A and B are shown apart, each in its own frame.
Chain A
Amino acid sequence: MTSTATREIIVNGLWKQNPALVQLLGLCPLLAISNNVVNALSLGLATTLVMVLSNVSVALVRNFIPQEIRIPVFVLIIAALVTVVQLAMNAWVHPLYLVLGVFIPLITTNCIVLARVEAFASKRSTAESVLDGTMMGLGLTAVLVTLGALREFFGKGTLLSDIDLALGPEAKAWVLHLIPDYQGFLLAALPPGAFIGLGILIALHNWIQRQPKRA
């Protein structure tokens, strides 16, 4: 893996081909769970883990999969990995499992996982696939967290609420109440807030992308 290839994979995942802002894949969980920072970060990291595992598995067996049945095999691998992650989280990080609830099995249906397996891992080396899964996952996580922070800030005037569910009751003190006596702005917390927030982020991304050309 050359250093240019490495750099390209990193830049694509985090910015140029960002799954949430450019490819617009995996929006269902993105919109649903981005109502606060903690949920967004947890689901983002769980998705990243699944993407790395599925990219590795597919890259390792890519030469044994007949072309005609590659999609069913990919789906099989992804579904099995998600279930393994779900069981493992239920057993060993139970509080976090309770927070993410139904969204863990839904990682299976997240198009970005299948998209990266099909477009990248089935054609490239294992090492490149690991990097691609990590970077695409982190790119998605970054957008999720930004959106989560925006919605939580405007919706409830706090940041990091519910962190005690992930890290235990002692973390309750970390919750930031940024606007005292805030009445709340329901639109931001409800699903339309997710669509509007994502729209703003996409617009911002496009605007920044065009900057150098104008100069």
Chain B
Amino acid sequence: MNFPRRHALGEALSETLSTSLTLLLFSVVCAGLLAGTYLATRPTIERSELEAKMRLVTQALPAGSFDNDPVRDAQPLPADPLLGLRHPGLAYVAASQGKPTAVVLEAVAPDGYAGEIKLLIGILADGSIAGVRVTSHKETPGLGDYIDIAKNDWIKLFTGKSAQNPAAEGWRVRKDGGQFDYLAGATVTPRAVVKAVHKALNYFEAHRQQLLRLPEPKPKETP
């Protein structure tokens, strides 16, 4: 006697099923599209990221101060809290005639306005900064993104500074009583960068010997 009811139930069930399958089908097609695009674009993206990194490493060092390939002569950096690294990074060693002259440290400012700010910090053998560059950040465009050399020269403020120059209390933005100017609209961003650079300098002071060393010579062809 309950035949019509069962029929309605069956209809509802099959409609649910076909709706779910449609949604599943769309998800699979979209996922396939994304996977295909990812695979097609990955080599180009990786290459341009590597090129950008090499350009920034070079910019963090004084022009003509080295004759080696710092990216090839890189050595591993531990995930040290002073560097803000959550995973081991790299230290790019610059050398002139086989003598290390500077090192470019990878470091992270974990407390940017919108997540991590990745930095390259070039430090000369005497402990002073040769240059700092931001390699990736998610700061607000037009407000916090002046830390990027492409937008503003602000990052050049660090050049010539060292762990003792200025003293620890000077390593803050001007608003917090320190020495570093910032642009209106964003203080969280420069505050995070100043702190990260200062901590990286302290790391350099503590590990100077290990950092200013070329890796064991690899077997290579003589020119």
Q: CB of A199 within 8 A of chain B?
A: no
A69:B45 contact, CB within 8 angstroms: no
What residues on B are CB-neighbors of A189 within 8 Å? 142
**Interface locus among A7-15, A32-40, A119-127, A133-141:** A32-40
**Interface locus among A20-28, A70-78, A201-209:** A70-78
What residues on B are CB-neighbors of A35 within 8 Å? 141-142
Considering the chains assembled together, what is the distance between the CA atoms of A38 and B141 in angstroms? 13
A102:B48 contact, CB within 8 angstroms: no
Q: Answer whether A88 and B34 are a contact pair too, CB < 8 Å, given A35-B142, A39-B141.
A: no
What residues on B are CB-neighbors of A33 within 8 Å? 141-142
**Interface locus among A44-52, A91-99, A109-117, A174-182:** A91-99
Q: CB of A167 within 8 A of chain B?
A: no
Q: CB of B96 within 8 A of chain A?
A: no
Return B47 CB to nearest CB of chain A, in Å: 9
A80:B34 contact, CB within 8 angstroms: yes
Q: CB of B168 within 8 A of chain A?
A: no
Considering the chains assembled together, what is the distance between the CA atoms of A98 and B137 in angstroms? 10
Q: Answer whether A101 and B45 are a contact pair too, CB < 8 Å, given A69-B22, A72-B23, A87-B37.
A: no
Q: Answer whether A69 and B44 are a contact pair too, CB < 8 Å, given A84-B33, A87-B37, A87-B38.
A: no
What residues on B are CB-neighbors of A77 within 8 Å? 26, 30
Q: Answer whether A91 and B44 are a contact pair too, CB < 8 Å, given A83-B34, A83-B37, A102-B138.
A: yes
Considering the chains assembled together, what is the distance between the CA atoms of A68 and B23 in angstroms? 11
What residues on A are CB-neighbors of B165 within 8 Å? none
B44:A76 contact, CB within 8 angstroms: no
Give the interface residue-count category, chain B: 20 to 34
Q: Answer whether A92 and B44 are a contact pair too, CB < 8 Å, given A73-B23, A76-B26.
A: yes
Give the interface residue-count category, chain A: 35 or more
A66:B22 contact, CB within 8 angstroms: yes
B141:A84 contact, CB within 8 angstroms: no
What residues on B are CB-neighbors of A162 within 8 Å? 151
B41:A98 contact, CB within 8 angstroms: no
Which secondary structure characterizes the binding site on chain A? Answer: helix
What residues on A are CB-neighbors of B31 within 8 Å? 80
B184:A186 contact, CB within 8 angstroms: yes
Return A29 CB to nearest CB of chain B, in Å: 10
What residues on B are CB-neighbors of A88 within 8 Å? 37, 41
What residues on A are CB-neighbors of B8 within 8 Å? none
Considering the chains assembled together, what is the distance between the CA atoms of A39 and B151 in angstroms? 12
Q: CB of A190 within 8 A of chain B?
A: yes
16 pairs across A/B with beta carbons < 8 Å? A32-B141, A32-B142, A33-B141, A35-B142, A65-B22, A66-B18, A66-B22, A83-B37, A84-B33, A84-B34, A87-B41, A87-B45, A94-B48, A94-B52, A98-B150, A190-B185
Residues of A within 8 A of B (CB): 32-33, 35-36, 39, 64-66, 68-69, 72-73, 76-77, 79-80, 83-84, 87-88, 90-92, 94, 98-103, 162, 165, 186, 189-190
Add 15 more A-B contacts to A36-B142, A101-B145, A102-B138 (CB < 8 A). A39-B142, A64-B22, A69-B22, A73-B23, A76-B27, A80-B31, A80-B34, A84-B33, A87-B41, A87-B45, A91-B45, A99-B141, A101-B138, A103-B141, A190-B185
Residues of B within 8 A of A (CB): 18-19, 22-23, 26-27, 30-31, 33-34, 37-38, 40-41, 44-45, 48, 52, 114, 138, 140-143, 145, 150-151, 184-185
Closest 4 CB pairs of A and B: A91-B41, A80-B30, A91-B44, A35-B142
